[in-house]
Amino acid sequence: MKIGMIGTGKIGFSLGPLLAASGHEVKFGSRDPARIRGEVAKFGHGASAGTYREAAQFGDAVFLAVPWHALAETLKAAGSLSGKVVVDCTNPLTKDMNLAVGCTTSAAEETARACPDAGVVKAFNTIFAGIYKAGDLGSGEQRLDMLYCGDDPAAKRTVAGIIESLGLVPVDAGPLSAARLIEPHAVLMIRLAFVQGMGAGIAWKLVGGRSGPNSASRGA
Ligand SMILES: NC(=O)c1ccc[n+]([C@@H]2O[C@H](COP(=O)([O-])OP(=O)(O)OC[C@H]3O[C@@H](n4cnc5c(N)ncnc54)[C@H](OP(=O)(O)O)[C@@H]3O)[C@@H](O)[C@H]2O)c1
């Protein structure tokens, strides 16, 4: 699948190369494409670099991997996302790593409000960049889970397919409003890693449920 990866920080440059190595065509979008061209060339697998707008136009799926506070200006720079599957990887964090929104809305719902003609799915916000970078997503019964949610069934199917293409287990958390629960989950992971001292090698695994503890996928 053609993927536009917008933002080339820790997530963009860890998840993006993993997607490229898994068979996706990835164009990295940056505010400064010249700065990233050399690095992107090293990723191989046909990965390319461009502006936010070029990455947005290229991708059938467009990943948003920028700080939450930069989302509005990023979406403006990206231009129309009409008809795209938009994967919101952001976590709405304050400077002191607390949740900036929650209960009545979420980063994902605000993204959907900003691009109403796109299929917005929340995903890829609950695993640390270092884990993508190491490419260690677990195997067999220990394959890591990826929570996702959204209101557009076709967009959700697409994202579930991308999640599976990386070897992760898609866990359907329901409608986009479930991002109000998934985003705080990421904040909990940050607390466990950096305040409780567990480190950023931790990841989350759901066990049990109707499909059995070793089910290949969960949810609807
Ligand atoms: N780090 C993690 O482990 C992790 C895990 C899950 C989710 N997330 C979420 O994913 C998003 C990206 O996280 P990250 O760790 O990759 O962040 P990061 O390392 O700070 O990189 C963010 C990228 O966003 C772009 N950007 C656009 N506007 C910006 C601005 N005003 N200030 C700074 N950067 C700006 C930049 O790319 P260009 O310069 O190329 O435009 C930058 O490299 C965040 O919302 C974060 O909460 C992070």
103-132 tens-digit pLDDT: 899 999 999 999 999 999 999 999 999 999
Verify whether ligand 1 is closer than 6 Å to residue 90 (CB atom): yes
| Digit-coded pLDDT (tens) for 186-196 | 999 999 999 99
**Tokens standing for 124?**
């890829």
Phi, psi (degrees; rounded to nearest 5) at 57: -70, -35
CB atoms within 10 A of CB 104: 8
pLDDT at residue number 97: 86
Residue 20: pLDDT band (50, 70, 90) is very high
Nearest to 176 by CA among 216, 205, 147: 147
| Mean model confidence pLDDT for the chain | 94
CB atoms within 10 A of CB 95: 7
The mean pLDDT value for 79-102 works out to 94
**Tokens standing for 176?**
């986009």
- Atom number, ligand 1, closest to the C-alpha of residue 186: 6
213 Cα: distance to centroid of ligand 1 (angstroms) = 34
Phi, psi (degrees; rounded to nearest 5) at 185: -60, -40
7 Cα: distance to centroid of ligand 1 (angstroms) = 6
| pLDDT value at 219 more than 90 | no
pLDDT at residue number 61: 98
178: helix, strand or coil: helix
What percent of the chain clears pLDDT 90, i.e. is strictly above it? 87
| Digit-coded pLDDT (tens) for 48-62 | 999 999 999 999 999
Candidate from 66, 90, 122, 189 with most ligand 1 atoms within 8 A of CB, to mutate: 66
**Tokens standing for 160?**
């579930």
Q: DSSP labels for 87-131?
A: EE----B-TTS-BSS-SS--HHHHHHHH-TTSEEEE-S-SS-HHH
pLDDT at residue number 118: 98
